Amino acid sequence: MKSVAAVHRLRLVSGPEGLSFLLLLVCSVLKRTTSFDAVPVMGMVHGVLFVLYVVFLAQAYQARRWEPKRGLLMFVLAVVPTGGFFAERMLAKEERGELDAPAPAAAA
């Protein structure tokens, strides 16, 4: 049950993190083309959401025992514009059980 909660937390923060990244890019363009400067505010919002994403990613990675490839993919999606939306979609499928669950670790 703990692993489901970890994936759920990661899913809940992935959408807002992706949106904040896009808004930060828009604010950066507006800063250079107009007198509007919301970069300090959006930078802080995005920074907090990104840190939460990485913390929740680490928790989900450990709880679900994902393969390193999957963990890396989820991290890369956080640093690519619109990647958070794809991560959210993948995590929603995993929550619903539409994606294959990782195989349990073999006992040694």
Domain annotation covers residue 91: yes
Q: What domain count does the chain have?
A: 1
Domain annotation covers residue 106: no
Q: What is the mean pLDDT of residues 10-22?
A: 94
In the prediction, which pLDDT does 108 show?
Answer: 44
How many other CB atoms are found less than 10 A from the CB of residue 12? 14
| pLDDT surpassing 90 at residue 98 | no
Query: Which value, to the nearest 10 degrees, does the dihedral of the CA atoms of residues 44, 50, 51, 57 take?
Result: 170
Residue 43 lies in domain? 2-95
Note the pLDDT tens digit of each residue in 33-74. 999 999 999 999 999 999 999 999 999 999 999 999 999 999
Q: What is the mean pLDDT of residues 15-29?
A: 95
Domain annotation covers residue 69: yes
| pLDDT surpassing 70 at residue 95 | yes
